[in-house]
Chains A and B, each alone.
Chain A
Amino acid sequence: MSATRIGASPNRVGGIDRVTGRNEYAADIRLPGVLEARLVALDCARARIISIDASEALRVPGVRLVMTAADLPQPVPRFGPQFEDRPVIAVGETKYHGEPVAIVAAETKDAAEAAAGLVHVEYEELPAVFTLAAALDSAAPLVQEPALRPNDRLASTNVLREHRIGWGDVDAALADVVVENRYTFPMVTHFAIEPHAFMAAPDGDGIAVWSTIQHPNWLQKVIAKVLGLPLSKVRVFAPDPGGGFGGKQHAKLEPLVAFAALRTGRPVRLVLSLEESFQAARRASCEVRVRTGVNRDGALVFEDIAADYLIGAYADIADRVVGKGSYPAAGPYNVPSVRILARSVLSHTVPSTAFRGFGNPQVNWAVESNLDEAARAIGMDRLAIRLRNLAKKGDAFIPFDTPADGDWRQAVERAAELIAWDTPLPPGHGRGLAVGIKSGPTTGLSYSTVRLLGDGSVIVLAGTSDMGQGARTVFAQIAAQELGAPLDWVTVVMGDTAIVPYDQQTSASRSTVLMGNSVLQACRSIQGQLAAMAARLHGLDEAQVIVDQGVVHLPDRDLSVLDVLTRGLGRLGGELTGNGEVRKEADPSHPLSGAAAFFEFNCTAVEAEVDEETGDIVIVKHVTVSDVGKALNPLQVTMQDEGAAIQGLGHTLMEHYIYDEKGRIRNLGAIDYRIPTSMDLPLELLSEAVENEDGPGPYGSKGMSEGALLCVASAVGAAVRDATGVAIRDLPLTPERVWRALRDRPMP
């Protein structure tokens, strides 16, 4: 049984359903009588909607609804996690290519599809901005109506918000050498293999909504607000998502589908195509200018960082991504003077949102690459300059935040060792090493309920979404460990807001730490009740009984939990219930509204071979070492770490949206937008974890699902630079881009 507990890697809870095809994803659920919905969108980004004629569409047999903004409450409700700027459906004007202007619901998909093509929209295309340069031009059309941001001096520009962080005095700082460069990071998309899917149905005097959502409780609040219902009348079902990566965090089209269901009085479902999912969520592109000041002895003197993130037409959570992602931009180093200015810049493009790494990979690419340039400028080894400046455990490397919470040097030295940093390389090969640092959750609220049933089996109610990271398994392991149940006697219930207590969200690699602690607390509450039972049964003081890891210790002997439970519950049976509540309150005085619960730290080291004839990059060896505190399930930790690394290779080597002059994504869909396949893997991929049990989560764990993605581009770019002598500062490093850079390389 110990093979199922903490520190072991039992088979994934829910795994059997996943290998048999029985696991029900949102698009697999079809209520009786459900109507199939399709969206109507225009063939350009920004347009004024002159008229919408649904008469022909409504004549298609089986069509039950064509709904536009005119059919919704006026003014059309808006929603959004940061700014309530996104209308339920386009009102008067579309702001990005793919934004729906109408929704059609019909008895069959065929009828909905046919009718969607027969909704005639008269529109006038309007000037629009798709790039940072265009959006920041003083004559640029405004993406957002200024009225949505009253009393905001930036409302007359396309800058949604500026984030300034810093300490020391960059302008006064004197460095022996200053290295300044500009880096760009592309727009990329989550490409979860499961496209977004939504369903809504009238439910008594309320509504039920199914969604691929990562944050069911956020969605419940959004639906309640736009429909004017109490929370208790909105039931959100969130089946385990088929991959989320941040793209499914916040409400998108659920309010629209909910209105369609209420209007028809029928269940309505909308399953997006992959192309529509590309138009629903993406990562912000970014342009970063970095000035790094360094002394000849390798000491960092200052970092001066200006990052412009191109976000989309509606804010979603994108501005938080900008603020939080850029915040640790100076890296895990002790830098005396730092100035960071990050701006979120609106454009007429797909709303950008959270994506694994949360705004951090963009600045990491720039700042870590520039650190390599600084090392070269002073003739110092690129590993040595990192070790020279790396914060030691307890250092306040960001003065007003959580001090360095790990022995990060261990991860860096281990990665260097695994990549054989100081050994000779064949011609055409190069090495790169980079570190990544990301602030964990700054606020949080996770309730849980654990029920120890009369036979010793356990039900855990936890509102985390298990989108592949394995939260079910980890929570089941915690309950099994604490209550002595076999793992397959533990059921973890998630994804139903009518049953499962509130959880703020599944993001920022928080769930093992925050919900994990909540589940642990609930189990400990049950242990306390068991101790009271045992004391009563044996005529002891409660203080004489210790319940630990599924065993009830009396002064003279040990009893099983089941034995005490059975006798304690008595003839009627019943159960013991424990509740957990983990709260990380906001701190209004902190720039991010809260210090980091933990930092995700990763060191990635890469050996790459560059084909000078074709520009093709082969990753010969990819090493990732993450500081995870404690791997509660080592196999799942490895999978998250490797998965993050491979996902990082996507934006590093091949992924990017290409926009045309009308603001349409030219490489929309799987044929032209490539993600890593089994043929694109590093020839050797090594993932290791540093485990010092020094995290705030159960048994000393830390969150770890994003770390290995943060600095992939920086490490690969550095390896390419090392192999070829050419620094390429724009991603992705496609063969064409590398080939051109090598062709244009100045002759020595």
Chain B
Amino acid sequence: MSESAAAFQIELTVNGHRRAIEVAVHHTLLDVLRDDLGLTGAKECCLVGECGACTVILDGRTVDSCLVLAVEADGSEITTVEGLADERGLGPLQQAFLDKGAVQCGFCIPGQLLSAHALLADNPHPSLPEIQEGLAGNLCRCGCYRQITDAVLATAERAER
């Protein structure tokens, strides 16, 4: 591909903000988030949908943004890690990740948080095996898995039944 690759106009709602952007037809949602919108919270690692570092929420479902073409995302609502905190402060999962020590190097954490966020939206009171399965697509080489699942459990416990 060269600079002259065909460009398409798409519209995304990212973390509640509508963004109209011109994207190359072969660029992924991850490319657009990181390179065009400057949202570098979504991380680039395997680019084959195996590591989960680029996980974002697209219309309520987690996707590996490295596997979604930007043009496919036209018209969708996207939540990235940058959208999990608001002016009042950290979201409950973010706070739980901090409190439980679920963060070491931190590189996988945006993806872990978004997978956990989507999991709790679907299933507000998951069991431990359900959490482990729900986050199985998010690799953590520091090996904070136990602290991550603890953080998700703690967040679920605090949520109203």
Contacts and interface: CB of A to CB of B under 8 A. Distances in A.
Interface residues of B, number: 60
A154 interface: no
A192 B104 CA distance: 12
B107 A192 contact: yes
Contact of A468 (B47, B53, B104, B137): B104
B2 A242 contact: no
Contact of A9 (B53, B101, B104, B136): B101
Given A21-B39, A61-B3, A679-B132, A642 B146 contact: yes
Contact of B51 (A12, A190, A670): A670
Contact of A19 (B50, B53, B90, B141): B90
A271 B35 CA distance: 13
Given A12-B98, A19-B113, A20-B85, A468 B44 contact: no
Contact of B3 (A14, A107, A670): A107
A111 B2 contact: yes
Interface stretch (A94-102, A119-127, A644-652): A644-652
A618 to B, nearest CB: 14
A640 B141 CA distance: 11
B90 A643 contact: no
A7 interface: no
A599 interface: no
A685 B1 CA distance: 49
Contact of A670 (B42, B46, B106, B110): B46
B78 interface: no
Nearest to B109: A18
A193 interface: yes
Interface in B19-40: 24, 26, 34-35, 39-40
A25 B44 CA distance: 11
B5 interface: yes
Interface string B37-61: 0011111111110110100000000
Contact of A242 (B43, B138, B145): B43
A21 B139 contact: no
B90 A16 contact: yes
A243 interface: yes
A274 B85 contact: no
A493 interface: no
B157 interface: no
A678 B47 contact: no
B133 to A, nearest CB: 7
A304 B109 CA distance: 46
* Secondary structure type dominating chain B contacts: loop
B63 interface: no
B138 to A, nearest CB: 8
B101 A635 contact: yes
A644 B107 contact: no
A638 B105 CA distance: 15
A110 interface: yes
A17 B132 CA distance: 25
B121 interface: no
Contacts of A2: none
Nearest to A709: B143
A670 B2 contact: no
B142 to A, nearest CB: 5
Interface string A452-472: 000000000000000111100
A675 B139 contact: yes
A194 interface: yes
B108 interface: yes
Which of B42, B142, B149 gathers the greatest number of chain A CB atoms within 10 Å?
A: B142
A267 interface: no
B14 interface: no
B3 A62 contact: yes
A24 B139 contact: no
Nearest to B108: A193
B81 A21 contact: yes
Most buried by A among B43, B101, B144: B101
Interface in B50-106: 50-51, 53, 80-82, 84-85, 90, 94, 97-99, 101, 103-106
Contact of B84 (A20, A61, A670): A20
A678 B132 contact: yes
Contact of A20 (B43, B46, B94, B144): B94
Given A16-B90, A61-B3, A678-B149, A469 B104 contact: yes
B145 A195 contact: no
B51 A16 contact: no
B131 to A, nearest CB: 8
A136 interface: no
A647 B143 contact: yes
A111 B45 contact: no
Contact of B143 (A24, A62, A242, A676): A676
B147 interface: yes
Given A21-B40, A25-B107, A193-B53, A243 B2 contact: no
A468 B145 contact: no
Contacts of A16: 90, 98
Contacts of A22: 41, 82
A407 interface: no
Interface string A477-521: 000000000000000000000000000000000000000000000
A361 to B, nearest CB: 15
B148 interface: yes
Given A243-B142, A643-B142, A21 B104 contact: no
Name the residue in B3, B39, B84 with the highest tally of chain A Cβ atoms < 10 Å from its Cβ: B3
Interface of A: 9, 11-12, 14-25, 27-28, 60-62, 107-111, 113-114, 190-195, 240-245, 271, 273-274, 467-470, 635-636, 638-640, 642-647, 669-671, 675-679, 681, 685
Given A110-B26, A243-B141, A271-B44, 8 more contacts: A192-B105, A273-B47, A274-B45, A468-B106, A640-B104, A669-B48, A671-B48, A678-B135
Across the A-B interface, give the 5 residue pairs with the lowest CB-CB distance, nearest first. Answer: A21-B41, A242-B107, A468-B105, A18-B106, A643-B143
6 contacts: A18-B106, A19-B90, A193-B140, A676-B145, A677-B137, A679-B136
